């Protein structure tokens, strides 16, 4: 560990000057925008100054260089403070700050990856530390590199449970390359933060979670320099006692100023006063260059080495096929990593864990943090990341998923035990709203494989598909439908059962696809012919194939899904058909909160089994006959 060298007085003054220029620029930017959080920027000024110009090692002209130290501004509302540092570093022009929040500006109200120096979006509080954990885990265990990860947090977000999930994760995995700096400025949006300025209580909490915790005066560059250079054998928390609105006399340590830019006349007075505090200094500070010891990584050509090995007559649960496919993909691609939330024997990510233990990350029962860690591991294209748990458990991480979409994050998620397949476990473990969740994310792709072959293809395609990918898997064994050489593409449906005499088109996926095939076979004995389509991806949906084949069955179409009525397959098909005329759509879905029972019994009770499908087909044809 480097020995600490106290900064000379010229360096100290230069850092103070940078902090005050940050205040000036933050006030100018927010006043010009008529929006923003200048008081939150002012409390963090010295922290940012010391981080950027005394502690962090990075190439200021190449913000995403993979050797650079990383910084996550978890308190994203202090974005102008971050932008001001990149002005100071020379990456941005000072004039660009005045475009803050304008529609043609890359400088948004909260950080987003539209700027090269932002890895992942922040602003929804309590998530930055989990992302930083993923970056730090990658640095220590996958890259085995020197770069460090810094996370700047506010005291308000310390009330979020996801913060403490991340604190626990960091200490468990001994992420000694991770430093969190807590800006304890006492005041929140409408009230003081719960612990106010009781910094010793923050220290005890951090220590209880296995962190090395140091209390500093957050406006003393000397104390910050020393703390940030402290020897570390565990994650470090620097608890910086600060004053909200520091440098704005009328707003210092006062409620009522959060999210309020200064009026123009007041801003001019404050800026004049801050400028008078900037002392002449001949010393110009530059960030030290990083150690170039991160391995080059290419995530191109991530693909399976061979076709699936399943044969006709085989049966396998898609959840098991997922685990086997992931292990196979990892066998030939060393940057494929897997995360799970203490469900690896249910999701079958245990197959990957057993084969590639050094690339498996156990996140325990902390699904919010698991998604954030996945985002951090995937940042800067260092890894292809898959994270799995029960489909129902992703609901609690929806804000993290939303932020992953805003961040343009490339993460792959697998939700096991979807729909009614948990059976006897009851509705609390049934994932019946997951497709609706993911369909609402603009960057999401939803794979819903129905057998072992399509599951393996889904895993392979997800690895190279940009954005948030979700793979929906089921608990029960199901028969192999596809030939191992079948070609699959995102947004391309498969017609799995058809004849020239088909009268109704049925669109189904997962367990209901097998029910639809059974219904079609049964109806065939009655000389009723049904065409069955497997959409493969629910988003994007192959609307053209569905429309073309529905026209061939005189506009009659049924959707069947192991999901609630709202937001799933039926509504996706409805959206695709909204501008079409002459179509008669009937949707079968789980319409009520279900109860415990055997899965096949529940399919019948909630009207999505083969008998229900056959009944609706007969009714639809009967109605057509009567209409004639």
- Within 10 Å of residue 377's Cβ, how many Cβ atoms? 26
CB hemisphere CA count around 583 (13 angstroms) = 23
Model confidence band, residue 627 (pLDDT cutoffs 50, 70, 90): low
pLDDT of residue 548: 98
Contacts (Cβ under 8 Å, ≥6 apart) of 391:
415, 416, 417, 418, 419, 431, 434, 472, 473
For 58-86, the pLDDT digits (tens) are: 999 999 999 999 999 999 999 999 999 99
CA distance 70 to 138: 12
Q: Are 96 and 109 in contact (CB under 8 A)?
A: no
For 489-524, the pLDDT digits (tens) are: 999 999 999 999 999 999 999 999 999 999 999 999
Neighbour order of strands in the sheet with 468-472: 360-362, 336-340, 384-390, 411-416, 468-472, 445-447, 537-539
Mean pLDDT of the 127-140 span = 98
- Within 10 Å of residue 116's Cβ, how many Cβ atoms? 12
Q: Are 8 and 211 in contact (CB under 8 A)?
A: no
Cis peptide before 236 (omega within 30 of 0): no
pLDDT of 1 > 60? The answer is: no
Q: Are 505 and 539 in contact (CB under 8 A)?
A: no
Supply 164's token pair. Answer: 């403490």
Supply 474's token pair. Answer: 């089921």
Instruction: DSSP for 531-560, please give it.
Output: EEEE-SEEES--HHHHHHHHHHTTTEEEEE
Which residues lie across from 474 on neighbouring strands? none
- How buried is 3 (Cβ within 10 angstroms: 0-12 exposed, 13-18 middle, 19+ buried)? exposed
Supply 86's token pair. Answer: 């990149």
CA distance 545 to 493: 7
- The dihedral region occupied by 256, where left means phi > 0, alpha psi between -120 and 50, and beta the remainder, is left
CA distance 624 to 628: 6
For 561-577, the pLDDT digits (tens) are: 999 999 999 999 999 99
Q: Give me the percent of the chain exceeding a pLDDT of 70.
A: 99
3-state secondary structure of 54: helix
Model confidence band, residue 355 (pLDDT cutoffs 50, 70, 90): very high
- The dihedral region occupied by 220, where left means phi > 0, alpha psi between -120 and 50, and beta the remainder, is beta
Q: Are 38 and 24 in contact (CB under 8 A)?
A: no
pLDDT of residue 2: 54
pLDDT of residue 140: 98
For 437-462, the pLDDT digits (tens) are: 999 999 999 999 999 999 999 999 99
Q: Are 186 and 197 in contact (CB under 8 A)?
A: yes
Supply 545's token pair. Answer: 């194939």
pLDDT of residue 3: 66
For 295-328, the pLDDT digits (tens) are: 999 998 899 999 999 999 899 999 999 999 999 9
CA distance 177 to 88: 25
Q: Are 483 and 308 in contact (CB under 8 A)?
A: no
pLDDT of 624 > 80? The answer is: no
Exposed e or buried b per residue across 302-319, where buried means at least 16 C-beta atoms within 10 angstroms of its C-beta: bebeeebebeeeeebbbb
3-state secondary structure of 317: strand
CA distance 112 to 121: 4
Q: Strands, DSSP E only, in 81-174?
A: 149-154
pLDDT of residue 623: 85
CB hemisphere CA count around 307 (13 angstroms) = 10
CA distance 461 to 249: 57
Instruction: DSSP for 439-455, please give it.
Output: HTSTT-EEE---SHHHH
pLDDT of residue 397: 98
Closest CA to 326 of 469, 505, 537: 469
pLDDT of residue 17: 98
3-state secondary structure of 43: helix
Q: Tokens 């999401």 belong to which residue? A: 444
CA distance 73 to 488: 40
For 26-39, the pLDDT digits (tens) are: 999 999 999 999 99
For 167-188, the pLDDT digits (tens) are: 999 999 999 999 999 999 999 9
Longest dimension (CA), the chain: 94
Mean pLDDT of the 101-128 span = 97
Q: Check: pTM over 0.85? Answer yes or no.
A: yes
| CA distances, 390 to each of 319, 348, 393, 598 (Å) | 10, 11, 5, 18
CA distance 148 to 93: 27
- Within 10 Å of residue 578's Cβ, how many Cβ atoms? 8
Model confidence band, residue 232 (pLDDT cutoffs 50, 70, 90): confident
């Amino acid at each position: 560990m480097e020995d600490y060298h106290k900064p000379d007085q010229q360096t100290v003054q230069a850092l103070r000057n940078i902090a005050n220029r940050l205040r000036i620029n933050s006030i100018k930017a927010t006043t010009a925008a008529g929006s923003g959080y200048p008081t939150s920027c002012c409390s963090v000024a010295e922290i940012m100054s010391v981080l950027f110009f005394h502690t962090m090692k990075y190439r200021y002209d190449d913000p995403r260089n993979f050797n650079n130290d990383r910084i996550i501004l978890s308190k994203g509302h202090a974005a102008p403070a971050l932008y001001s540092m990149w002005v100071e570093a020379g990456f941005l022009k000072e004039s660009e700050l005045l475009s803050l929040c304008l529609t043609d500006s890359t400088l948004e109200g909260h950080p987003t990856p539209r700027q090269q120096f932002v890895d992942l979006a922040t602003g929804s509080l309590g998530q930055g530390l989990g992302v930083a954990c993923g970056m730090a885990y990658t640095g220590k265990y996958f890259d085995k590199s020197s770069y460090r990860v810094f996370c700047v947090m506010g005291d308000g977000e310390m009330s979020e449970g996801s913060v403490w999930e991340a604190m626990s994760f960091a200490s468990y995995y001994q992420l000694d390359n991770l430093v969190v700096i807590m800006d304890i400025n006492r005041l929140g949006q409408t009230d003081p933060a719960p612990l106010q300025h009781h910094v010793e209580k923050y220290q005890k909490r951090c220590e209880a979670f296995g962190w090395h915790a140091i209390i500093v005066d957050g406006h003393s560059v000397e104390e910050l320099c020393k703390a940030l250079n402290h020897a570390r054998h565990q994650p470090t928390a620097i608890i910086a006692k600060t004053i909200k609105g520091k440098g704005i006399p009328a707003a210092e340590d006062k409620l009522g100023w959060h999210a309020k830019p200064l009026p123009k006349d007041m801003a001019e007075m404050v800026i004049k006063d801050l400028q008078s505090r900037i002392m002449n200094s001949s010393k110009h500070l530059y960030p030290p260059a990083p150690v170039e010891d991160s391995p080059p990584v290419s995530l191109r050509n991530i693909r399976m080495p061979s076709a699936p090995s399943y044969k006709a007559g085989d049966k396998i649960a898609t959840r098991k096929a997922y685990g086997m496919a992931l292990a196979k993909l990892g066998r030939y691609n060393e940057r494929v990593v897997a995360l799970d939330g203490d469900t690896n024997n249910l999701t079958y990510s245990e197959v990957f864990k057993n084969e590639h233990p050094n690339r498996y990350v156990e996140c325990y029962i902390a699904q919010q943090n698991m998604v954030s860690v996945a985002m951090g591991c995937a940042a800067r294209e260092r890894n292809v990341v898959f994270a799995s748990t029960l489909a129902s458990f992703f609901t609690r991480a929806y804000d993290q998923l939303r932020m992953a979409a805003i961040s343009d994050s490339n993460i792959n998620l697998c939700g096991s035990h979807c729909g009614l397949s948990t059976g006897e476990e009851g509705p609390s473990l049934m994932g019946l709203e997951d497709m609706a969740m993911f369909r609402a994310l603009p960057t999401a792709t939803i794979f819903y494989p129905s057998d072992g072959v399509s599951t393996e293809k889904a895993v392979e395609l997800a690895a190279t598909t940009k954005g948030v990918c979700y793979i929906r898997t089921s608990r029960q064994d199901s028969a192999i439908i596809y030939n191992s050489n079948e070609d699959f593409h995102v947004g391309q449906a498969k017609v799995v059962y058809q004849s020239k005499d088909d009268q109704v088109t049925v669109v189904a996926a997962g367990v209901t696809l097998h029910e639809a095939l059974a219904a079609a076979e049964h109806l065939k004995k009655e000389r009723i012919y049904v065409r069955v389509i497997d959409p493969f991806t629910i988003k994007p949906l192959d609307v053209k194939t569905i429309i073309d084949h529905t026209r061939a069955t005189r506009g009659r179409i049924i959707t069947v899904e192991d999901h609630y009525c709202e937001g799933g397959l039926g509504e996706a098909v409805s959206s695709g058909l909204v501008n079409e005329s002459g179509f008669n759509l009937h949707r079968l879905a789980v319409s009520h909160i279900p109860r415990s029972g055997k899965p096949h019994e529940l399919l019948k009770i909630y009207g999505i089994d083969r008998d229900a499908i056959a009944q609706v087909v007969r009714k639809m044809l009967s109605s057509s006959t009567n209409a004639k």
